[in-house]
Amino acid sequence: MDRMHFGQHSSSQFNEALESIRNHLMEMGGLVEKQVVDALEALLHADSALAEKVLTTEDRVDDLEIQIDEECARVLALRQPAASDLRLIIAVSKAVSDLERIGDESAKIAAMALQLAEDGESPRGYVEVRHIGNHVRNMLRDALDAFARFDADKAVEVAAEDTEVDLEYRSAMRALVTFMMEDPRAISRVLNIIWSLRALERIGDHARNIGEQVIFLVKGTDVRHISIDEMEKEVRKKD
Amino acid sequence: MDTARELDNRNRADDDAAKPLIDVEERSMQDTPYPEKTVGKPFVDAPKMKLRHVNVFYADNQAIHDVSLDIGKNEVISLIGPSGCGKSTFLRSLNRMNDTIDICRVKGELHLDDQDLYDPKLDVVELRARVGMVFQKPNPFPKSIYDNVAYGPRLHGLADKKYDLDEIVENSLRKAGLWTEVKDRLHSPGTGLSGGQQQRLCIARTIAVSPEVVLMDEPCSALDPIATAKIEELIDELSESYTIAIVTHSMQQAARVSHRTAYFHLGRLIEVNDTETVFTKPEHELTEAYITGRFG
Amino acid sequence: MSETTAKVRKSLARRYRQEKRFQAYGILSIGVGLLALLILFTDIIGKGHSAFFEHYIQLEISLDPDVLGVDDASDDEQLNYANFGGVIKEALRERFPGVDDRQQQRQLYALVSSGASYNLRDELKADPSLLGGTRELWLLADDDVDLYLKTPERKRPDARLDDQQKQWIEDLEAAGETDKRFNASFFSHGDSREPELAGIGSAIVGSFFTMIVTLCLSFPIGVAAAIYLEEFAPRNKFTDFIEVNINNLAAVPSIIFGLLGLAIFINLFGLPRSVPLLGGLVLTLMTLPTIIITSRAAIKTVPPSVREGALALGASKMQVVLHHVLPLALPGMLTGSIIGMAQALGETAPLLLIGMVAFIVDIPGGPTDPATVLPVQIYLWADSPEQSFVAMTSAAIMVLLAFLITMNTLAVVLRKRLERRW
């Protein structure tokens, strides 16, 4: 991790700009993480107030996305960053759009929660939601942690966890589809759960993307669209 | 709600974790050890210039420490590094311009194709006809534009007739992208041109003797951005017929014009890599620190 | 208004006062310099301008072949021994009849210069048909008469002329038989005991030959030395030693160079004394340090980038020097040399020691003929007792100053002209 020194630029303004970008990213990460947690809570406990809160947070997340993008553009234009600085800017601007999408997915879950609060609870699926939700929450937390500490190993773990989430999502889908065939009356409510699971799965994908950006940031290699084994190999390759 | 608390805790933990991170950042770059040997790809297949274990001394001070590097044919290689890192000294030892400094000694194996540059039997005049040089400050001779370009060919007897000389002058000026600007005033003084034109005149003067390698020592440092852009464009065109080694303080310039980039640090060659690699993910920490602007 | 501004304002007034005072000192010192120069010039010109003119006396002279002892005016041999003095004396006696006393006659004869007979001879030589006829001729007046006539009427001194002579002169003046003419002989004659015959011709020619010798030796030697020291010599203790010595030599009193010339050129090599060749050699020694130092300075101003550019194109060191350094440094070198030559032109002391202080009447025909130079001539005349030499001295100084100013102007013009290319 010792190659990541974002202080120490000869220009203190440059330092401050990068620091500010990181801080805003972390702030956005925190907000989005809270959105995911709140959305899950709202869904699991049919808490419509909490769901509303998730939807209102969305605006703040969007503002931060625009602000961070502007900051990145400014650094690119004024400082012509190179090497790790350049990778940081690229990684941040990609991570920001992933985070924003995670926020959107959370909003979708919150919307489902509101729907379910109106229509009544789904007869099945809450176990899967809790399980996958926990997984995804951990992934997101780890991905943001890896970003904060420039920890490529943790980023690999995130990616590995995504594969698990995908497996669990698929088995949950199979179970819920089977249930719907057995009890067609619950279809509309179960579908809400399915949409939520789908959103959680997408959040997992986005968390994985953030992890991949961390690896690009730290190691300088692009690990998108390759297997976990290869990714691990890339991360272990040097130093 | 315990997840929310957990999140708060994590945020606080994150704040704590950020502290040691900052301590790590404040470690001085100067403590970073040199690599035992140059990292990256210092050697190429079928090099134009083959330089091995080059050491340069000024009296008892060693300016260059054991530098080994290949310069490929028709390649633009840029030498970057902080001031006083020896990149200019290294460049000047490639056409023995250091000979003019009494206290300067160059050791090591320096070859241009199969010719040993420091072979005592080699005439330095012949060497400099093969390895030309362009300097930091445009230094046209206080003569006419024509005479500036014709000086080298006359010196080496490259043209027997006035007609041949005219042709060499025109071709060189064309290659340097200066012909259309000066064709009507070939006999007015070269010192009357603008800075950028003067530098292109110096490049025309250098390529008039058809060198194989052109060394450029910060050729744009005295020029405005437009003139710089023209020179950079020119370097790109020249790389089709010449091998070019360029010392530059502008990292953007190195990134724009060169195929490979060599990073010098306090007389040592730290890293040589494809320019793209150097500017996106340099292998060595010192290179990284330099190109991201962490030396001061 | 902030505190700083108040302080700055307070200090500003003091600063401006200081600046004004400093400027005033500068103007004052320049004023003093100009005043001194003005006094010097008025004094010299005031004293010297009269020496550019001399007076002639008109006499009716009969060129009697018997008195002259000449029967063929085309025979130079006869003319050289002819008694022109007798003819002139006869003419004077006829102009002022009734002067019988031998003493008085001698005073009468003294009105006309002893050089007048040469005038007469030249006239006759030019036109032999004059022999036997009578002509009104203008004859050069004696220096005392000249001086008397040049002085304004009220202040005419009585020195060296008695009342009788003054009376004669005034008679001649009243009759319009005196005339003031431009003194061409001042520039063409050599030195003479008689002020009205003396001129700076031989001194100018002597100076010319001396300068030629100095220039031919010191310029190439000086430039070559400067180029070697600046471009080729290794930097070591020995060259440092040479450099220190050259700088010291520039400050050595010039009379030491005279002694050196005496010891080496005359005693060791046995060169003849009093010749421009010797003077030139000694002055070469004296100007060499100046030329070397200014030439080195001129070479140093050639930007190293030009040298590097040429070297990088494959020029040899010699080619760099010949093609680039020398042409660029030449204006500076020439300026230095001209200033060095001007210095040498005004030099007296070393020449005194090698015998160029001799009394030279003939105009030298080459650098190996005995000669004197302008400043030495001035020195000699300044020492002479005759009052007319005072004016002559000042006139010679004016000529010398004119040469020096011309040379320095040339140096400035040359530099301006040649530097424009750069």
Residue C165 CA to its chain's centroid (Å): 35
Nearest by CB to residue B100, choosing from C311, C314, C421, is C311
**C347-362 burial, b if ≥16 CB within 10 A, otherwise e?**
bbbbbebbbbbeebee
pLDDT band per the 50, 70, 90 thresholds, residue A200: very high
Edge-to-edge strands, sheet with B104-112: B61-72, B47-58, B104-112, B115-116
Nearest by CB to residue C324, choosing from B135, B141, B191, is B141
pLDDT number for residue B6 = 46
DSSP β-bridge partners for residue B71: B49
* CB atoms B17 and A149 under 8 Å: yes
Which residues of B are less than 8 Å from C421 in CB distance? Answer: 142, 189
Structure tokens at B144: 């006419």
User: Which of these, C51, C147, C55, C146, lies nearest to C396 by C-alpha position?
Assistant: C51
Nearest by CB to residue A37, choosing from B4, B283, B292, is B4
Judged by CB atoms within 8 Å, which residues 121-180 of B form the interface with C? 124-129, 132-133, 135, 137, 139-142, 151-152, 155-156
- φ, ψ (nearest 5 deg) of residue B24: -60, -40
CA distances to A227, B37, B97 from B88, rounded to whole Å, are 46, 21, 11
Q: Which of B1, B2, B3 to mutate to test the interface with A (most CBs of A within 10 A)?
A: B3
Averaged pLDDT, C334-356? 87
Chains C and B: 3 or more CB pairs within 8 Å of each other: yes
* CB atoms B155 and C314 under 8 Å: yes
pLDDT number for residue B38 = 83
Q: Does domain C201-418 have CATH number 1.10.150.300?
A: no
pLDDT band per the 50, 70, 90 thresholds, residue A225: confident
Q: Is the pLDDT of residue A9 over 50?
A: yes
Range scoring the smallest mean pLDDT among B105-119, C57-71, C249-263, C333-347: C57-71
- Give yes or no for a contact between B271 and B39, defined as CB atoms under 8 angstroms apart: yes
* CB atoms B14 and A148 under 8 Å: yes
Measured CB to CB, residues of chain A less than 8 Å from chain B are 1-11, 14, 26, 30, 33-34, 37-38, 40-41, 79-87, 137, 141, 145, 148-149, 219-221, 238
* CB atoms A83 and B295 under 8 Å: no
The rounded distance, in Å, linking the Cα atoms of C372 and C207 is: 7
Question: For residue B27, what is the DSSP state?
Answer: S
- The dihedral built from the CA positions of residue C318, C322, C324 and C329, taken in this order, carries a sign that is positive
| Residue predicted with more confidence, C398 or C115 | C398
The rounded distance, in Å, linking the Cα atoms of B71 and B91 is: 12
The rounded distance, in Å, linking the Cα atoms of C298 and C309 is: 19
| Residue predicted with more confidence, A151 or C120 | A151
* CB atoms B25 and A8 under 8 Å: yes
Closest Cα in chain C, distance from residue B214 (Å): 10
- β-pair type (B47-58, B104-112): antiparallel
Structure tokens at C92: 């004077």
CA distances to B146, B165, B214, B292 from B154, rounded to whole Å, are 11, 8, 19, 46
Closest Cα in chain B, distance from residue A51 (Å): 13
The rounded distance, in Å, linking the Cα atoms of C404 and C401 is: 5
Burial label for C65, CB within 10 Å (0-12, 13-18, 19+), is middle
Averaged pLDDT, A153-163? 89
pLDDT band per the 50, 70, 90 thresholds, residue A95: very high
pLDDT number for residue B101 = 81
pLDDT number for residue C39 = 95
Taking only the tens place, the pLDDT of each residue in C127-139 is: 777 777 788 888 8
Instruction: Tell me the Cα Rg of chain C.
Output: 30
Which residues of C are less than 8 Å from B151 in CB distance? Answer: 310, 313, 315, 323
Residues present in chain B in total? 296
Helix (H) or strand (E) holding B257: helix B251-257
- Give yes or no for a contact between C201 and C187, defined as CB atoms under 8 angstroms apart: yes
Query: What ipTM does the predicted assembly reach?
Result: 0.79
Taking only the tens place, the pLDDT of each residue in C386-401 is: 778 888 899 999 999 9
Q: Which residue of B has its CA nearest to A144?
A: B14
* CB atoms B292 and A83 under 8 Å: yes
Taking only the tens place, the pLDDT of each residue in C267-294 is: 888 888 888 899 999 999 999 999 999 9
* CB atoms C315 and B95 under 8 Å: no
pLDDT number for residue B27 = 45
Q: Is the pLDDT of residue C153 over 80?
A: no
Burial label for A191, CB within 10 Å (0-12, 13-18, 19+), is middle
Which range of A89-93, A221-225, C380-384 scores highest in mean pLDDT? It is A89-93
CA distances to C63, C244, C286, C288 from C251, rounded to whole Å, are 62, 11, 10, 12
* DSSP helix/strand/coil, B189: strand
Q: Give the HSE-up count for residue B67: Cα atoms under 13 Å, Cβ half-sphere.
A: 36
Q: Which residue of A has its CA nearest to B11?
A: A30
Taking only the tens place, the pLDDT of each residue in C294-330 is: 999 999 988 888 888 898 888 888 899 998 899 888 8
List helix spans (H) across chain A: 12-45, 48-79, 83-119, 126-149, 152-182, 187-219, 228-237
Structure tokens at A92: 């941040």
pLDDT band per the 50, 70, 90 thresholds, residue C162: confident
- φ, ψ (nearest 5 deg) of residue B95: -125, 25
Closest Cα in chain C, distance from residue B206 (Å): 7
- Give yes or no for a contact between A91 and A192, defined as CB atoms under 8 angstroms apart: no
User: Which of these, C285, C177, C278, lies nearest to C222 by C-alpha position?
Assistant: C285
Averaged pLDDT, A45-69? 91
pLDDT number for residue A4 = 54
pLDDT number for residue B24 = 38
Please list, in sequence order, all residues whose beta carbon lies within 8 angstroms of the beta carbon of residue A212, skipping any fewer than 6 positions away. Answer: A155, A159, A223, A224, A231
Helix (H) or strand (E) holding B48: strand B47-58
- Give yes or no for a contact between B290 and B265, defined as CB atoms under 8 angstroms apart: yes
Judged by CB atoms within 8 Å, which residues 58-97 of B form the interface with C? 95, 97
Residue A39 CA to its chain's centroid (Å): 14
User: Which of these, B57, B70, B69, B109, lies nearest to B270 by C-alpha position?
Assistant: B69
CA distances to A139, A161, A173, B235 from A165, rounded to whole Å, are 10, 6, 12, 53
Structure tokens at B32: 């970073």
The chain-wide mean pLDDT, for chain A, equals 88
- Give yes or no for a contact between B204 and B172, defined as CB atoms under 8 angstroms apart: yes
Number of neighbours of residue C271 by Cβ within 10 angstroms = 16
| Residue predicted with more confidence, C190 or B76 | B76
Domain parsing of chain C, residue ranges: 53-182, 201-418
Chains A and C: 3 or more CB pairs within 8 Å of each other: no
What stretches in chain B show pLDDT beneath 70?
Answer: 1-31, 295-296
pLDDT number for residue A90 = 92
Q: Is the pLDDT of residue A69 over 90?
A: yes
pLDDT number for residue C213 = 92
